[in-house]
A and B are shown apart, each in its own frame.
Chain A
Amino acid sequence: MSCKLSNSNLLNYIDGDLDTANQQMVKEHLENCLECHEKLVQLKSMYGIIEIEKQALTPNPFLSSRIWEKVNQVNVPIIPLRRFTIATIAAAGLTIGIVIGSLFYSTSNVNGTTYSEQAWQQLADDYFPGDSFSPYENIPQNQ
């Protein structure tokens, strides 16, 4: 077996996942190749950390009480907060809509005049009937 082939199977060899024939071939190669054997030793020490970490984990005797404490808490924060956020966004949207709508309405025009100009015109016609009269004309100058 070549070093390349042996190296490509080292983790499976460590886990014993190769079939019997391949497991034996890798084993024989490692016994005869110092370089590959050295790699195996280093790989084993890295890979072995998983087992060490697994063994280091211990059950927490307080986990159960911590879980019950959380379970018994009423689910307050999440849903009301979301509802509140949705309501706020809806109210803000509505307000913006009203503002934009009123702006649009005040600047919409009929026959080239704005709403406020039309209103002034109507007021002037009521009080000063006449085709050519304008409330802004013939205002007496202050002496």
Chain B
Amino acid sequence: MALSDSELVEQIHSENSRKAFDELISRYQLRVMRICHGFVLHNADAEDLTQDVFIEVFRSIDRFRGDSQFSTWLYRIAVNKSLNFLKKKKREKVFQSIEGFFFKGDKEESLQLSDEGQFAADRGIKTSENKKILKGAINSLPENQRTAFILAKYQDLSYKEIAEVMDLSISSVESLLFRAKGKLQNRLLSSIEKK
């Protein structure tokens, strides 16, 4: 019979059990990856973030006292890591644009290289126009609406589970999702009409 999450966590606490942690990784890897992918919209980045999430879980598992479910705690870490990643990326873009302003020649070169890298990474993946529009629309949502939407759509969490992860009431989650879908729909419909 499979052990429950809390039993596995207990084994990690008491015995530092690698086997128990491996079981948690295999149980939650895909779910964490889906959340991260919902934010970063890039497979390789989502995988790297998933790795970081589990490393963080292992390092801070002593602080998990079982007040909430393990999955809630894990999803919260995944959301925080993803949001921090996006903030870091945004900062890097700002620095790159400042750098580009002062070192125009260098920037052209680095852009050329990064385009090549991007091409190599995305080789074989057909990026449709619809995909771009959808991603743009999701990215344009405010942070809390986006988080609620991603947990609902990419992770299929219930309102109650989303409320626990985001530390909000269920009615707040309902309202966030309603507004998120409204904004998303407007963005998508306006791009359909432009076509």
Contact = CB atoms under 8 A, between A and B. Distances in A.
Interface of A: 7-8, 10-12, 15, 17, 39, 42-43, 45-47, 49-50, 53-54, 57-60, 63-64, 66-68, 70-71
Contact of B153 (A12, A50, A64): A50
How big is the B interface, by class? 20 to 34
14 contacts: A12-B178, A43-B185, A43-B189, A46-B130, A46-B192, A49-B128, A57-B30, A58-B30, A59-B30, A63-B25, A63-B29, A68-B18, A70-B51, A71-B55
Contacts of B18: 68
The 3 A-B pairs of least Cβ separation, nearest first, read: A11-B181, A11-B185, A46-B130
A112 B123 CA distance: 78
A49 B55 contact: no
Interface string B85-126: 000000000000000000000000000000000000000000
Given A11-B184, A43-B188, A57-B33, A67 B46 contact: no
Nearest to A12: B181
A12 B177 CA distance: 10
A53 B59 CA distance: 30
A57 B40 CA distance: 13
Contacts of B130: 45-46, 49
A53 B54 CA distance: 22
Given A43-B185, A57-B46, A67-B54, 4 more contacts: A17-B181, A43-B189, A46-B188, A63-B51
Interface of B: 18, 22, 25-26, 29-30, 33-34, 37, 43, 46-47, 50-51, 54-55, 58-59, 128, 130-131, 133-134, 153-154, 178, 181-182, 184-185, 188-189, 192
Nearest to B129: A46
Contacts of B34: 54, 57
A54 B36 CA distance: 11
A28 B58 CA distance: 53
A38 to B, nearest CB: 9
B26 A64 contact: yes
A57 B18 CA distance: 25
B181 A39 contact: no
A57 B44 CA distance: 11
A52 B178 CA distance: 23
Given A42-B192, A64-B22, A54 B182 contact: no
Which residue of A7, A49, A57, A66 has the most chain B CB atoms within 10 A of its CB atom? Answer: A57
Given A39-B192, A47-B188, A67 B51 contact: yes
Given A39-B192, A57-B37, A63 B184 contact: no
Given A54-B154, A57-B46, A59-B26, A66 B51 contact: yes
